[in-house]
């Protein structure tokens, strides 16, 4: 036995727990694609958990008025989102004839479910400020995760902490925004839009922060778009999500954009030419 208490393992295997890791893919169908589907889903789970940790680290930094370290954590989120989104490529070969036998076997063994019921994904979405309490009920069979998500639902999102930080920095965030119920999905505010427009013109550090947050929001939307397209290619508009046709259920989620004023404020950032080159004469 070595110094870490492991036996018959290399240091690499002991550190990464590879012997355990490679026992976690317990397939339930005879389809050769199930292993690939399971690996893809497990990798996404790990990346969601990693992104949650990074956003929580950023929140802690913002609360200490430490925007430099907060920004570094958010830059890492962008880096994590790149390989997360790329995982969809490994499932691009799946057709309905491939996926449906897998899903039938999974449902027969474990019951109906969907990736959007994963607690890691829901925690990440809550941190983005997309607070939908109706999803909590799906986690009642997991009391520990239910409490974890209820806590995240009722606590400030990352964006709430960013706006509170901007307020302390001297920007005029409306009091009602700072005092809003954090358990509700964030609603855009025209005064916050003005703050971002002004910050982009006057505060280079906040501008860089805003651009990183915009990258995060765009990557999140990209993941949702790829999920939508994967659904279109594999089950079409069959009932797939809580009894709702898959595509119909997913399409509206593309409009759930984190940090909304970071995008709407761009209508007002910068000097518009006296005559717009695209205007009709």
- C-alpha of 174 from chain center: 27
- Which pLDDT belongs to residue 202? 95
- Sign for the CA dihedral angle at 59, 138, 144, 83 comes to negative
- How far CA 183 is from CA of 9, 127, 132, 151, 199, in Å, comes to 46, 11, 8, 9, 27
pLDDT tens sequence across 95-121 = 999 988 988 898 888 877 665 568 999
Considering the domain delimited by 32-254, tell me its CATH architecture.
Answer: Up-down Bundle (1.20)
**Residue-by-residue DSSP string for 237-273:** TSEEETTEEHHHHHGGGGG--SSTHHHHGGGTSSPPP
Q: How confident is the model at residue 246 (pLDDT cuts 50, 70, 90)?
A: confident
Task: For the chain, give the mean pLDDT.
Answer: 91
- Which pLDDT belongs to residue 1? 46
Report H helices in the chain. 11-16, 18-21, 34-63, 67-86, 96-110, 119-127, 143-154, 158-168, 175-178, 190-202, 204-234, 246-250, 261-264
**Residue-by-residue DSSP string for 195-223:** HHHHHHHH-HHHHHHHHHHHHHHHHHHHH
> How far is residue 122's CA from residue 136's CA, in Å, rounded to a whole number?
9
- Which pLDDT belongs to residue 278? 64
Q: How confident is the model at residue 280 (pLDDT cuts 50, 70, 90)?
A: low
- Which pLDDT belongs to residue 113? 64
pLDDT tens sequence across 51-71 = 999 999 999 999 999 999 999
Residues 250-274 have a mean pLDDT of 88
The DSSP symbol for 183 reads T
Q: Kindly compute the dihedral angle of the four CA atoms of residues 12, 17, 23, 25, in this order, to the nearest 10 degrees.
A: -90
Strand partners, 244: 241
- Rounded to whole angstroms, the maximal C-alpha distance in the chain is 82
Q: How confident is the model at residue 8 (pLDDT cuts 50, 70, 90)?
A: confident
Q: Please name the residues in contact with 270: beta carbons below 8 A apart, sequence gap of 6 or more.
A: none
pLDDT for 29 beyond 60: yes
Domain ranges in the chain are: 32-254
pLDDT tens sequence across 157-209 = 999 999 999 999 999 999 999 999 999 999 999 999 999 999 999 999 999 99
Share of the chain above pLDDT 70, in %: 91
Q: Please name the residues in contact with 184: beta carbons below 8 A apart, sequence gap of 6 or more.
A: 131
Backbone angles phi, psi at 57, to 5 degrees: -65, -40
> How far is residue 224's CA from residue 254's CA, in Å, rounded to a whole number?
6
- Which pLDDT belongs to residue 11? 94
- Which pLDDT belongs to residue 186? 93
Backbone angles phi, psi at 92, to 5 degrees: -70, -15
Q: How confident is the model at residue 236 (pLDDT cuts 50, 70, 90)?
A: confident
Tokens 């501008």 sit on residue: 207
Query: 23 near 33, Cβ under 8 Å?
Result: no
pLDDT tens sequence across 76-87 = 999 999 999 999
pTM of the predicted model as reported, rounded to 2 decimal places: 0.91
């Amino acid at each position: 036995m070595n110094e870490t208490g492991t036996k018959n393992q290399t240091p690499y295997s002991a550190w990464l727990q590879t012997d355990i890791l490679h026992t976690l893919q317990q397939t339930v169908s005879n389809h050769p694609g199930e292993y690939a589907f399971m690996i893809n889903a497990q990798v996404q789970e790990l990346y969601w958990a990693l992104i949650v940790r990074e956003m929580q680290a950023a929140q802690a930094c913002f609360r200490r008025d430490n925007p430099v370290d907060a920004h570094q954590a958010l830059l890492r989120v962008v880096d994590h989102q790149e390989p997360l989104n790329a995982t969809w490529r490994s499932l691009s070969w799946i057709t309905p004839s491939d996926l449906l036998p897998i899903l039938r076997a999974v449902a027969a063994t474990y019951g109906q479910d969907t990736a959007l019921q994963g607690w890691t994904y829901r925690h990440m979405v809550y941190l983005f400020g997309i607070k939908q309490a109706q999803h909590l009920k799906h986690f009642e069979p997991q009391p520990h995760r239910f409490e974890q998500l209820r806590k995240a639902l009722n606590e400030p999102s990352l964006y709430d902490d960013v706006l509170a930080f901007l307020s302390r920095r001297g920007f005029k965030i409306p009091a009602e925004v700072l005092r809003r119920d954090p358990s509700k999905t964030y609603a855009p505010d025209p005064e916050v839009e003005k703050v971002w427009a002004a910050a982009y013109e006057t505060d280079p550090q906040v501008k860089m922060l805003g651009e990183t947050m915009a990258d995060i929001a765009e990557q999140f939307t990209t993941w949702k778009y790829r999920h939508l397209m994967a659904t279109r290619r594999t089950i079409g508009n069959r009932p797939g999500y809580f009894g709702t046709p898959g595509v119909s259920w997913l399409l509206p989620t593309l409009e759930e954009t984190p940090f909304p004023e970071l995008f709407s404020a761009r209508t007002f950032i910068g000097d518009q030419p006296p005559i717009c080159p695209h205007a009709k004469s």
